[in-house]
Amino acid sequence: MQKIFPPKLKKGDTIGILCVSGDIKDFERLQKSKQYFENKGFNVVVSPNAQDRKNYLCGDDNTRAKILNDFFKDDTIDAIIAARGGYGAIRLLDKIDYISIKQHPKIFCGYSDITALMLMIYKKTGLVTFNAPMAYSDFGEAASEYTEQSFFNTLTQTNDEIKIDAPKIYYKGVTSGLLWGGNLSTIQSLCGQNFIPDEKFIFVTEDINEPVYKIDKMFTQLLNIPQFKNNLAGIVLGDFSGIDNENYFDSFFNDLAQSLKIPVTGGLKFGHCKDKQTFPIGIDAMLDTNLCKVFYTKK
């Protein structure tokens, strides 16, 4: 599949803040994120459903899907940043206009529940998406300097590497493949969909407040899929805050790494943590545990 690289973000561009998953409980905080980007020199459009609520969702499925499709079709919007995750993205996968997205490529970013959209958009269109902080969840508060710098460096410049700041190496080595992944439990929820890359990939993943036995279960379910196991070239773990037992966690990944015999490392700053890196999903990359870096290039 031919990759599509969205244009870089630049001052004066219009950012669409997309409310596509969980409900917005504090609209003022969303407005703060709008003001944040305007102060940075961008125009901002906020989802018209930002104050909608259907139970725990930001409006009904058809409305949320329509706004996502409309944001892509609208050529006055240059980049789309999800407001927040939570839950709801997986309910929209059969309502997304993937043909239109391919015809109107632009930056699309988020994390957590938004993983479902990022991976399916890449799978269906080839559009490179971005694991990145979100408007309501991150920029609606005081985002850390680390988070801000990584976000703007990645989306406005031409970065070619990701530093693993606090490496915890379970299996050493160098490997290459597509940089791909996101929130582990959300990826597990995609089972039954055609979502796994058709080529070798480096699996980057994170989660929050999951006991180790559930992390084990989620990895096991994915590895029971031949396409996933056969194409898995390496694993990079992000933040797994809230786990119940560090020793069990390390034991599981030590055993898994020895079984797979592929490079496996922890320590990447991404996920549900204050400091988080922004990086592309769907780009060709190389993981080197000796240098504690992931290098990526456009091909």
- Tally: H helices and E strands in the chain: 9, 14
Sheet strands side by side (includes 161-163) = 161-163, 293-297, 284-288, 174-183, 201-206, 232-237, 264-266, 168-171
Strand pairing of 14-18 and 79-82? parallel
Same domain, 290 and 169: yes
Give the integer Cα–Cα distance in Å for 115 and 86: 11
**Over its length of 299 residues, how does the chain's per-residue pLDDT go in tens digits?**
789 999 999 999 999 999 999 999 999 999 999 999 999 999 999 999 999 999 999 999 999 999 999 999 999 999 999 999 999 999 999 999 999 999 999 999 999 999 999 999 999 999 999 999 999 999 998 899 999 999 999 999 877 889 999 999 999 999 999 999 999 999 999 999 999 999 999 999 999 999 999 999 999 999 999 999 999 999 999 999 999 999 999 999 999 999 999 999 999 999 999 999 999 999 999 999 999 999 987 65
Give the integer Cα–Cα distance in Å for 58 and 19: 7
Same domain, 106 and 169: no
Give a yes or no: residue 8 inside a domain. no
Same domain, 18 and 152: yes
Same domain, 127 and 60: yes
Give the integer Cα–Cα distance in Å for 107 and 90: 20
The closest of 107, 277, 124 to 204, measured between CA atoms, is 277
Extract the tokens encoding 79: 């980049």
Give a yes or no: residue 108 inside a domain. yes
Same domain, 29 and 151: yes
Same domain, 21 and 149: yes
Give a yes or no: residue 3 inside a domain. no
Contact indicator for 192, 170 with CB cutoff of 8 Å = no
CATH number at residue 191: 3.50.30.60
Same domain, 128 and 193: no
Between helix 212-223 and helix 246-260 the angle, nearest 10°, is 20
Residue position matching structure tokens 């104050």: 51
Last residue of a domain, one of 123, 141, 156: 156
CATH number at residue 128: 3.40.50.10740
Same domain, 99 and 211: no
Give CA 228 to chain center in angstroms: 18
Extract the tokens encoding 143: 């985002």
0.85 exceeded by pTM: yes
Range(s) of the domain holding residue 76: 14-156
Domain count, the chain: 2
Mapping DSSP to helix (H, G, I), strand (E, B) and coil, where does residue 187 land?
helix
Give a yes or no: residue 5 inside a domain. no
Same domain, 175 and 105: no
Give a yes or no: residue 9 inside a domain. no
